[in-house]
Structure 1
Amino acid sequence: MRAEIEAAVSDIKQSLALLRRHLDWDAALRRLDELNVRAEDPTLWNDQQLAQTLMRERTQLDQSITAVRKISSDMEDAILLIEMGDDEGDKESVEEGESQILALKELAAKKQLESLLSGEADANDCYLQVNAGAGGTEAQDWAEMLLRMYTRWADQHGYKVEWLEESSGEEAGLKSATVVIKGHNAYGWLKTEAGVHRLVRISPYDSQARRHTSFSSAWVYPVIDDSFEVEILDKDLRVDTFRASGAGGQHVNTTDSAIRIVHEPTGIVVQCQNDRSQHKNRATAMSMLKSRLYEHEMQKRESVAQAEADSKTEIGWGRQIRSYVLQPYQMVKDLRTGVETSNSNAVLNGDIDLFLEASLASRLKGGTSSEDEEGDAVL
Structure 2
Amino acid sequence: MNDLTNQIERQQRRVEKTMVRLDLANKAKQINKLEEESMAADFWSDNRKAQTHMQQLTALREEVSTWQGIATQLNDLQGLAQLLEEEPDEEMQAEVAQAIPPIEQQIERLQFALMLSGEHDEKNAIISIHAGSGGVDAQDWAQMLQRMYLRWAERHRFRTEIYEYSEGDEAGLKSTTIEITGRYAYGYLRSEAGTHRLIRLSPFDAAHRRHTSFAKVEVLPDVEDTIEITIRPEDLDVDTYRSTGAGGQHVNKTDSAVRMRHIPTGIVVTCQNERSQIQNREVALKLLKARLYELEQKKREEETARLKGKHVQADFGTQIRSVIVHPYNIVKDHRTNHETSDTEGYLDGDVDPFIFAYLQEQAGGVITADEA
TM-score by length of 1: 0.81
* Counterpart residue identity of residue 213, structure 1: T
Work out whether residues 126 and 219 of structure 2, in 8 Å CA contact, stay in contact via their aligned partners in 1.
yes
Report the aligned-residue RMSD: 3.2
Q: Distance in 2 between matches of 1:287 and 1:309?
A: 23
How big is each residue's C-alpha offset from its partner over 1:90-145, in whole Å with a ceiling of 9 and x where there is no partner? 69937x936x6455445424422423433332221121111111223221221111
**Percent of pairs identical after alignment?**
41
Q: Gaps spanning 5+ residues in structure 1: where?
A: 314-318, 367-379
Aligned counterpart, 1:124: 123
Q: Distance in 1 between matches of 2:201 and 2:148?
A: 19
Aligned counterpart, 2:207: 208
Work out whether residues 165 and 177 of structure 1, in 8 Å CA contact, stay in contact via their aligned partners in 2.
yes
For 1:252, what is the secondary structure of its paired residue? Answer: coil
Distance change in 2, residues 1:309/1:6 (3 Å): same
* Counterpart residue identity of residue 97, structure 1: A
Distance change in 2, residues 1:81/1:332 (3 Å): farther
Work out whether residues 337 and 358 of structure 1, in 8 Å CA contact, stay in contact via their aligned partners in 2.
yes
Answering whether residue 363 of structure 2 is matched by residue 364 of structure 1, we say yes
Distance change in 2, residues 1:17/1:169 (3 Å): same
Q: Distance in 2 between matches of 1:5 and 1:340?
A: 37
TM-score by length of 2: 0.83
Instruction: Give the C-alpha shift of residue 277 in structure 1.
Output: 2.1
For 1:310, what is the secondary structure of its paired residue? Answer: coil
Q: Distance in 2 between matches of 1:298 and 1:117?
A: 18
Work out whether residues 221 and 295 of structure 1, in 8 Å CA contact, stay in contact via their aligned partners in 2.
yes
Q: Distance in 2 between matches of 1:107 and 1:48?
A: 35
Instruction: Give the C-alpha shift of residue 234 in structure 1.
Output: 4.1
How big is each residue's C-alpha offset from its partner over 1:67-90, in whole Å with a ceiling of 9 and x where there is no partner? 213433455567788896995556
Aligned counterpart, 1:189: 188
* Counterpart residue identity of residue 23, structure 1: L
Instruction: Give the C-alpha shift of residue 204 in structure 1.
Output: 2.9
Distance change in 2, residues 1:25/1:226 (3 Å): closer
* Counterpart residue identity of residue 299, structure 1: K
Distance change in 2, residues 1:235/1:40 (3 Å): closer
Q: Distance in 2 between matches of 1:125 and 1:114?
A: 15
Map of 1:209-248 to 2, 5 A cutoff?
209-248=208-247
Aligned counterpart, 1:309: 314
Map of 1:98-117 to 2, 5 A cutoff?
101-102=100-101, 104-117=103-116
Instruction: Give the C-alpha shift of residue 42 in structure 1.
Output: 6.1
Map of 1:339-354 to 2, 5 A cutoff?
339-354=338-353
* Counterpart residue identity of residue 261, structure 1: M
Q: Gaps spanning 5+ residues in structure 2: where?
A: 366-372
Q: Distance in 1 between matches of 2:8 and 2:201?
A: 43
Instruction: Give the C-alpha shift of residue 161 in structure 1.
Output: 0.6
Aligned counterpart, 1:137: 136
Work out whether residues 142 and 173 of structure 2, in 8 Å CA contact, stay in contact via their aligned partners in 1.
yes
**Mean Cα displacement is larger for which, 103-112 or 158-167?**
103-112
For 1:309, what is the secondary structure of its paired residue? Answer: coil
Q: Distance in 2 between matches of 1:341 and 1:244?
A: 39
For 1:196, what is the secondary structure of its paired residue? Answer: strand
For 1:178, what is the secondary structure of its paired residue? Answer: strand
Q: Distance in 2 between matches of 1:91 and 1:173?
A: 58
Aligned length: 357
Which has the larger Rg? 2
Distance change in 2, residues 1:250/1:340 (3 Å): farther
* Counterpart residue identity of residue 197, structure 1: H
* Counterpart residue identity of residue 282, structure 1: R
Work out whether residues 81 and 93 of structure 1, in 8 Å CA contact, stay in contact via their aligned partners in 2.
no
Distance change in 2, residues 1:253/1:155 (3 Å): same
Answering whether residue 94 of structure 2 is matched by residue 97 of structure 1, we say no
Instruction: Give the C-alpha shift of residue 276 in structure 1.
Output: 3.1
Instruction: Give the C-alpha shift of residue 195 in structure 1.
Output: 0.5
Distance change in 2, residues 1:73/1:49 (3 Å): same
Instruction: Give the C-alpha shift of residue 350 in structure 1.
Output: 1.6
Aligned counterpart, 2:177: 178
Q: Distance in 2 between matches of 1:359 and 1:171?
A: 35
Instruction: Give the C-alpha shift of residue 232 in structure 1.
Output: 2.4
How big is each residue's C-alpha offset from its partner over 1:205-253, in whole Å with a ceiling of 9 and x where there is no partner? 3343333222111111111234411132445433333321111366231
For 1:251, what is the secondary structure of its paired residue? Answer: coil
Distance change in 2, residues 1:203/1:160 (3 Å): same
